[in-house]
Structure 1
Amino acid sequence: MQNSARKRVTPIGYLVLLAFPCASSFAVVYARASLIQMMSVFGAVLVIAFFITWLRNSRIRISRDLPRLASVGEDLVYTVHYENLRSGKLANFLLEELPPDPSPSKELFLGSTEPGEEQRNAFDRTFIAYRWMWLVKQRIFFDSKATVCDSVRKGESKHCLMQITPKRRGVIKLSNMRALLPDPFGVFQRIQQVEQSTDHLIVLPKRYRVGDLHLSGSSRNQIGGEALSSISGHAGEFVGLREYRPGDPLRHIHWPSWGKSGKPIVKEYEDVFFPRYGLFLDTVVSAEKANLFEEGVSMAASFACAVDTRECLLDLIFMQQGAKVLTVGRGVAKVENMLETLAGVEIDLKPHWRELEKMILQHTENLTACIAIFCDWSEDRLKMVQKWEAAGLSLLLFYVCDDEKLAREQLKGMAKRFKIAPVDKIQQVLYSL
C-alpha cells in the first residue's frame, strides 16, 4: 500500500518525534528541570500513543453508493455505508479511499523513457528508479481525503460522505478502503483493511468546447437503399401500406390488414440516408509523450460530443491490440458508449499499421469525412494519410504537440494540411474551428 508508512504517523506525530530528541539534547546540555520535564512529557506521549495505537482494533464492513460516471478534475462526492462488526463501541476513527496500485507493467516500464532521463547521472540511468517514480506518479487515478466517521455500536450501521478527485481518465476499481484508528493524542494511527466489495467507476476524459464544426464531403448514393461513400447507415421511414410483392421481407407484413382484406399486405418504407463521419485517434505513443496522448483523447471526446449523432453516424477508429472501430449514432449506440470507450483506451506499444490501414481504407468508401488526431509523426503515419487522400477522403487533421515550431519541422511538407494543437492552446484551436 503506497504511503502506508507516512500515514501511520500524523503531522502532529512528526512534530512530537522531532521535539523529543531536541528536548533531550537540550536537557543533557543545560540540565534544567523544565527541559527534563519537557523531554519526559514528549517521551511519555510517544510511548503511550504507540501502545494505545497497537492495541486498537476494528472490524468494519462498508458499501458504496457510486454514480456510474465521473469526469477528470471534478470532485466526486458519494455515500459510504459502514457497519461495526466487532463487539463494543467503535469511536474516533476515519475512513479513507485509496487509489489502485499505480505500478506500471514490466513492458511499460522497460519501453518508457523519463523526460530528461539522458541528463541524469550514470547511477540513476543504470538503476532507473526515477523512471519508476515518474511512471507511478503519472498513473495515480485520484486524490482523496480521510473522512471522520461517527461512533457506531456493535451491529449498528451509519453513513458518511466521501470525496475523491479523479486525476486521470479510465475505469477505476475501488477496493482499497482503509480504516484509520488514531490514538487519543493524534500522534500515531493504525491502518486496517475493511470488508468491502469491489466497485467500478468510469472516469470520462476532459472535454473542450468545440466551435461550429463544418465537415466537408460529397454525397454519392447507391441504388438499392445503401450508400457507398459519404452517405451510409440507411434507415426506413414508414410511408404506408401496399399489397405484397414477391421478394418483400416477411417482417414487413402487416398482419391486421391481411386479416381484414384476406390478401397479404406489407408496410412500405422509404429509405433514408444520413452522413457518416470517422474519428481517428492515434494511440501509438511512447510513454514519455503520455501527456500528448491524454490531450488527444480529450480532443476525441470533445469531437464525439460536438458531432450531432442524432442525424449521422460516427465511427471511432483506433488501435488497441489490433485495429478497432466503434460506431455510434442514429439507431446504433449513444455517444456515452464512445466516451466510455475513450475513458479506457490505452497507449498501444505494438502497433498493427497494416491492419489499421486496411480497416480505414475499407471504411473510406462509407465515410463523408474523417477527423484524424495524431500525437506523434512517422513514415507509417505519412503513408496512411497519403492513401486516405488518394482514396478521396475529406480529412480534418490535427497534430497534438508541446512545441509548435518543432511540430512543423516534424511534419515538413504536410504541415499546411494540419491544424497544429499545442497542449496549452488546444481550447483555442478547437474553439476557432
Structure 2
Amino acid sequence: MKFLYHLFCLGYKVQQWLLKRFTSAGLAILVSLVATVIVGIDTKQTVTYQVFAFMIATLIIAVTFSCYFPARFDVQRQLPRFATVGSRLFYRVAITNRNQKLQAGLLFIEEIADPKFSLTEFKQIITSNSNKGSVNSLTYIYYRWLCAIAQKRKAKTKAIALPSLKPNSTTEIRGEITPTHRGVVRLQGITILRPDPFNLFNATKTVKQAGSLLVLPKRYQLPVFNLPGSRRSQSGSVSLASSVGDSEEFISLRDYRPGDPLNKIHWKSWAKTGKPVVKEEKSEYFVRHALILDTFQSQKHSEILEEAVAVAASFAWDFHTQESLLDLMFVGLESYCFTTGRGLGSKEQMLEILAGVTACQDNFDCLMAAVVEKVSMLSGCICILISWDQQRRKLVNYLRGFKIPLLVLLITENEQQHEDLNLENLYVLPLGKIQAALMNIRSI
C-alpha cells in the first residue's frame, strides 16, 4: 500500500508536469512516439523508425529552445471574496513586463495549491465503498485518487492567451477560475507560458502570488413557497427585534442578579441608588423557522451530502427573513445553530457556514438533541435528509407532534426505493433530478 501511495503521488506530479509543459500538439507527438515504437520494432521491414527519429529530433529542438526564458514579470490579481460552485469566476489580473523587449505569444495559468494526502487518507480513498468499479483495478484506483485531488483543489483553471506585453509596462487582463467544489480555494501563484516556435513545448516562469477565495455551495431555483407559522415566545433572547413585529416591552426595574446581560442594566438608576439595577422586560414574540440539515453518513464525502448542502443553501438564500428568524441547524465536528433574520446575521454568513459543512459520523441523536432544545420556539421547520431510517422517522414524527408546519426533503440515489413513503409534505429529490423535483414543492 505504501509503494502504491508513493507511485500515485509521483504519477500525479508527472501528469501535471506533462500537461503544463507540453501543448496539445506536443502531447499528440508523445502519443505518436509511443505508437511508432510499437509499430517500428523491426527497422528492416518498416520505415516507421524514420518518423520516430524525426519526431524525437523535433521535440529535442523544442525543449532546447524552451530551456532559456530569462523574462521577468510582476503580477497582481484582484480576487472577489466569494465564488459559487459551477459558476465561472472572472477577475482582474495586472501583469507587468519588467523586460526591455516586447513579449508576445504568451499564455498564463493560475496555480492552485496541490492538496497533500497522508498515507491514511490514501487508504480511505481507495477502500471507500463505490459501485463504479473494482477496487482491484489500478486504473480505477488512480481515477478515484484523481477525483479526491480534484475535490480538495476545489476549482480548475485553464491557460489563457495574453496580449502582447510592452516593455516596462503593465497590462490588465481578465483571469478565469471555475469552482467545482465548495470550500476554500488556495492560489499559490501565476505561471507565464511561452510556447516554442513549433508550438510543442512551453517554457515557464512562475510568479509567486498567494491568494484565496471561498467557494459557496451551488443554489437551485425554488418555486414560490410559503411556510406558515404563528409567533412564538423567544424568552431569554437578546434584542432580536429590528423594526417589524413585537419588540420587548418594559415592565419594571429590579435588583441585578448574577447572569443578567449588561445591556439590561439601567445605568441612570444605578447612578442614583449606587447599586446595579436592571430592566425587566416582556418576552419577544417572533415567527421562527428551522432549516435542519442532515449530515450523518459513514463516508467523508458523497454526492448526496453535496446536494443536500446545495438545497439548504437554496432555501437559506431565498427565505424571506425580514419579518422572521431562520435557524440553520446541523452537526459537524459539533452541533451548530446559526440564526439569521430581523437584523441578526446575514444570508451571506449562512452560505459561508454551509460552505464548510462536513459529514458527521457520530450518532444521529446529536441532531435530535439540538432540535429538542429549540423546538418550543419554532413556528415551522424545513428538514433536509440524506437517508431514511428509524432514527430519521423518529425526528420527523417528533416535529409533527408539535403541530408546526413541516416540510421534509429526502435526497436519494434510488427514487423507487422510497415510493412507498406516504407522508404529508415529504418530497423525494432523486440525484440528477433535484431541480425538477424542487419545482413540484407546494406551500404547506
When the two structures are superposed, what TM-score results if normalisation uses the length of structure 1? 0.77
2:91 aligns with one of 73, 78, 88:
78
| Two-structure CA RMSD over aligned residues (Å) | 4.1
Q: Which residue of 2 aligns with 1:211?
A: 223
Q: Which residue of 1 aligns with 2:109?
A: 96
| Structure 1 residue 149 corresponds to structure 2 residue 181 | no
| Structure 1 residue 120 corresponds to structure 2 residue 134 | yes
Q: Which residue of 1 aligns with 2:428?
A: 420
Change in Cα spacing, 1:142 to 1:335, as seen in structure 2 (3 Å) is same
Alignment of 1:245-256 (within 5 A): 246=253
Q: Which residue of 2 aligns with 1:387?
A: 398
| Structure 1 residue 291 corresponds to structure 2 residue 303 | yes
* Shift of residue 234, structure 1, vs aligned partner: 4.2
Check the 8 A contact 1:227/1:234 in 2, yes or no: no
1:13 aligns with one of 21, 26, 32:
26
Secondary structure at 1:299 match in 2: helix
Q: Which residue of 2 aligns with 1:337?
A: 349
Secondary structure at 1:365 match in 2: helix
* Shift of residue 303, structure 1, vs aligned partner: 0.9
Q: How many residues align?
A: 402
Check the 8 A contact 1:99/1:176 in 2, yes or no: yes
- The answer to which of 204-213 and 398-407 deviates more is 204-213
Instruction: Tell me the amino acid that sits aligned with residue 370 of structure 1.
Output: C
- The answer to which of 362-371 and 171-180 deviates more is 171-180
Change in Cα spacing, 1:75 to 1:402, as seen in structure 2 (3 Å) is same
Check the 8 A contact 2:77/2:91 in 1, yes or no: yes
When the two structures are superposed, what TM-score results if normalisation uses the length of structure 2? 0.76
Change in Cα spacing, 1:407 to 1:177, as seen in structure 2 (3 Å) is farther
* Shift of residue 398, structure 1, vs aligned partner: 0.9
Alignment of 1:19-418 (within 5 A): 22=36, 42-85=55-98, 90-102=103-115, 106-107=120-121, 110=124, 113-116=128-131, 120=134, 122=136, 124=138, 128-152=141-165, 155-196=168-209, 198-221=210-233, 226-227=234-235, 233-235=240-242, 246=253, 273-287=285-299, 290-348=302-360, 350-351=361-362, 353-408=364-419, 418=426
Check the 8 A contact 2:235/2:284 in 1, yes or no: no
Secondary structure at 1:212 match in 2: coil
| CA deviation map 1:252-295 (0-9, x unaligned) | 98xxxxxxxxxxxxxxx998633111001111234487211121
For residues 229 and 328 of structure 2, what CA distance do their matches in structure 1 show?
Answer: 18
Change in Cα spacing, 1:277 to 1:31, as seen in structure 2 (3 Å) is closer
Runs of 5+ consecutive residues of structure 1 not aligned to the other structure: 254-268
Q: Which residue of 1 aligns with 2:437?
A: 429
For residues 159 and 310 of structure 1, what CA distance do their matches in structure 2 show?
Answer: 41
| CA deviation map 1:205-253 (0-9, x unaligned) | 22222223222444454xxxx4599xx94457799xxx99745966698
| CA deviation map 1:368-395 (0-9, x unaligned) | 1111101123443333334334455542
For residues 54 and 106 of structure 2, what CA distance do their matches in structure 1 show?
Answer: 25
For residues 388 and 245 of structure 1, what CA distance do their matches in structure 2 show?
Answer: 36
* Shift of residue 144, structure 1, vs aligned partner: 2.2
For residues 238 and 389 of structure 1, what CA distance do their matches in structure 2 show?
Answer: 26
Change in Cα spacing, 1:328 to 1:121, as seen in structure 2 (3 Å) is closer
Instruction: Tell me the amino acid that sits aligned with residue 190 of structure 1.
Output: A
Check the 8 A contact 1:322/1:352 in 2, yes or no: no
For residues 177 and 67 of structure 1, what CA distance do their matches in structure 2 show?
Answer: 17
Change in Cα spacing, 1:321 to 1:58, as seen in structure 2 (3 Å) is farther
Instruction: Tell me the amino acid that sits aligned with residue 66 of structure 2.
Output: T
Check the 8 A contact 1:88/1:154 in 2, yes or no: yes
For residues 109 and 423 of structure 1, what CA distance do their matches in structure 2 show?
Answer: 27
| CA deviation map 1:4-26 (0-9, x unaligned) | 22322212223444567859959
For residues 400 and 238 of structure 1, what CA distance do their matches in structure 2 show?
Answer: 36
Check the 8 A contact 1:281/1:300 in 2, yes or no: yes
| CA deviation map 1:175-203 (0-9, x unaligned) | 2432223222211113443121x222222
Instruction: Tell me the amino acid that sits aligned with residue 426 of structure 1.
Output: I
Check the 8 A contact 2:222/2:439 in 1, yes or no: yes
Runs of 5+ consecutive residues of structure 2 not aligned to the other structure: 1-12, 256-263, 269-280
